[in-house]
Structure 1
Amino acid sequence: MNDPSHHGHHGRCTLVGAGPGDPELLTVKAVKAIQSATVLLVDDLVSEEILQAYARPGARIIHVGKRGGCKSTPQAFIERLMITAVHEGETVVRLKGGDPFIFGRGGEEVEHLREEGIEVRVINGITAGLAAVTSLGVPLTHRDHAQGVVFITGHAKTGHAAAEHPTDWRLLAATARDARLTLVIYMGVSGVAHIQTQLLHGLPGETPVAVIQHASLPQQRHVSTTLSRLPLDLASAGLGSPAVIVVGDVLRGLAAAGLPATRFGT
C-alpha cells in the first residue's frame, strides 16, 4: 500500500447508496453527503430527480453509466477520476444505485482508494432486491415460508478465473429447497433460460417467482409466475433490465390474490 504521507490531498470521498430509484427512499445521511459534494460521479440507474433535488449548485456531475448489457465507463477510469478529484481537494461522492456493497462494485473502489492512502466513507442505500419484494407487499423472510435470503448475481464477472468458478445454480436450488431460502437474483434477465433450467434440478416447477422491473419507480412493472413458466411469462410480459428475479415460497398467494402491485413507499 502506498504511504498516505506521500499524497497532498485534502479532499474526501464517500460512496453513497442512492437506493432503488425513488428519491424519498434516500437516507438522511445520504442526502447530506450529496448536498456537500463538489464532485458527483453518478451511475446510470440513479434517478435524475435525486440530483435535481439535492446536488448543490455548481457541483460537477459526471455520469459514469453502469448498466448491465450496455456500454459502460471502464471501472479503472472511474477509480482514477475519483482519486484525481480527491487529490485536487474535492469533496467526492460516488453515487451508486441501490447499496454500494451489494453488487455495486463498492468493495473494489474502496480497495483501490485505500491503496492510494484515501480513507473512504460508505453510506448504505436500500437495495433493489428488498425494494422489489416490498413493492409487492411480500417479505424476503417469513417464519412459515423462508428462514433466510440469498442475494446473488446472474451476471458474474467475466474472465478465466470466473469461468473456473461459475455459479452452481443446481447446488443453490437444492440449498434453497432444504434450508427454505428466498433467492433474489440481480442482473439475471439476459440469462433467465439457463438459470431456470438449472434451478429446476433442485426446485419444483410450481415454485413461485416474481420479476420486478424498475422497483420503486412510477414505471415499475412486475410479472408473477412459476419457475416452470418463467422464461415464457417473462417474454410475454415484455419485461427487461433493470429487473430483479425473486424465487421462493414467500411469494405464495401473490398471483392467486389478483392484487395490483403496491406502490413502494406510498
Structure 2
Amino acid sequence: MTGKVSLIGAGPGDPELLTLKAERLLREATCVVYDRLVSDEIIAMANPDAKMVFVGKMPQCHAVTQDRINEILVEEAQAGHRVARLKGGDPLIFGRGSEEAAILQAQGIEIEYVPGITAAQGASSITGVPLTHRGLATGVQYVTGHRQADKHLDLDWKRLANPDTTLVVYMGVANIGQIAVGLMTEGLPGSTPVMAISKATSVDERRMVSSLANIAADARDAGLKPPTLFIIGKVVSLYGAQGLPLENEAAEVAAHG
C-alpha cells in the first residue's frame, strides 16, 4: 500500500517550539526526510527505527537537488512508508512545501501539512521585537532576499518601502546591500532600524542592531552567515526595552555571539 507524507514545520530551532502534532508524527514515522536547518535535538525525537534521509542544502551548494528530493518523497511513500518531511520553520513560508505537495498529489499520494513557527515569529519572540505594534507598524511583509540560481532580485521596492509596516527578509545575507539600496531609493530613511538575527532561538543564536544605511557593512564586518533573518522597521526601536540599547549597534553581535 502507498504510504503518506506529512510536511512538517520543525520551527526555528528550539526543540520546545515544535508542535505536539509534529512530535507525534515524528515518533510514528517510518521514514524521516530532513533539511539542514532542523536541529539535532529534533532529529533525536524521531522513531529510532525510522529510515533517516538527509537532504540538506547550503547556499550555492545543493548536494541534493529539489527534483531529487521530490523523487525521494515519492519513492518512500510508494514503498509504503509513513514519511515525515521535516523542514525548518513552516513548510508553507519559503519552504517549498506546496511544490513538494503538488508532486506528491500528482502521484496519488496522501499528504498533510503540519504548521511550524516560522523564523520571523521565532526571532520576534526571542528578541522581544514585535512584528506589529500600535503606532509603529500596522502590518508585516515577508520577502525572500534570494532568487533561484542566484538571479537578480526584482522586488517591488516601492511596496516594500512602507514606513508603516515591518519588513522581514529571509535568506538575505548575500543581498542585504542591494535590498537596503532598493528600499532607500524608494524613500525609506537610511536611519530606519534593522535587526539581524542568525540562527534564532538556537544555542548558536547571534543578533545585531543597525540601521538601513549601515546594515550591509555591519553584517559583513560581523561575519554573519545563513540562516540570518532581517527585521526592518520602526518596531526594532523597541529592542531597547529588553535592556539592550539601540545605540550599541553592531556590538550586540559580540554580546550574543
Give me the TM-score of the superposition, normalised by structure 1. Answer: 0.87
1:14 corresponds, among 6, 16, 26, to 6
2:224 is matched with 239
Structure 2 letter corresponding to 1:189: V
Q: For residues 54-65 of structure 1, what are the structure 2 equivalents within 5 Å?
A: 54-65=45-56
Give the superposed CA RMSD.
Answer: 2.1
Does 1:138 pair with 2:136? Answer: no
| Matched position secondary structure for 1:200 | helix
Residues paired across the two proteins, number: 247
Residue type at the aligned position of 2:65: P
Instruction: Describe the SS at the equivalent of 1:241.
Output: coil
2:204 equivalent among 219, 223, 227: 219
Q: Is the CA contact (8 Å cut-off) linking 1:21 and 1:216 kept in structure 2?
A: yes
- Asked if the contact 1:207/1:227 (under 8 Å) is kept, the reply is yes
Residue 27 (structure 1) aligned to one of 10, 16, 19:
19
1:168 aligned onto 2:152: no
SS class of match (2:214): helix
Partners of 1:30 and 1:51 in 2: how far apart? 12
What is the SS of the residue equivalent to 2:69?
Answer: helix
Structure 1 window deviating more from structure 2 (232-241 vs 110-119): it is 232-241
The answer on whether the counterparts of 1:210 and 1:245 sit within 8 Å (CA) in structure 2 is yes
SS of 1:240 mapped into structure 2 = coil
Scaled by the length of structure 2, the TM-score of the pair is 0.90
Quote the Cα distance in structure 2 between the aligned partners of 1:71 and 1:158. 11
Alpha-carbon distance in 2 for matches of 1:244, 1:200: 19
Match of 1:194 in 2: 178
The Cα of 1:255 is off from its aligned counterpart by: 5.2
Aligned to 1:209: 194
Correspondence 1:95 to 2:86? yes
Shift of 1:253: 4.1
**Contact in 1 for aligned 2:2/2:109 (Cα 8 Å):** no
> What is residue 3 of structure 1 aligned with on the other side?
none
Q: Tell me, what secondary structure is at the counterpart of 1:150? A: strand
What is residue 228 of structure 1 aligned with on the other side? 213
Shift of residue 119 of structure 1? 1.9
Unpaired runs of at least 5, structure 1: 1-8
Work out the CA distance in 2 between the residues paired with 1:170 and 1:232: 23
Q: What SS is found at the alignment partner of 1:209?
A: strand
The one-character-per-residue Cα deviations of 1:85-138 (angstroms, maximum 9, x if unpaired) are 111111111100000000000010011111111121000000011111221111
| SS of residue in 1 equivalent to 2:194 | strand
Cα distance between partner residues in 2 of 1:92 and 1:11: 7
After TM superposition, list the pairs within 5 Å mapping 1:69-88 onto structure 2: 69-88=60-79
CA distance in 2, matches of 1:194, 1:167: 11
Q: Is the 8 A contact 1:187 1:242 kept in 2?
A: yes
Gap regions ≥5 residues in structure 2: 246-251
The CA distance in 1 between the partners of 2:195 and 2:19, in whole Å, is: 27
2:57 touches 2:64 (CA, 8 Å); kept in 1? Answer: yes
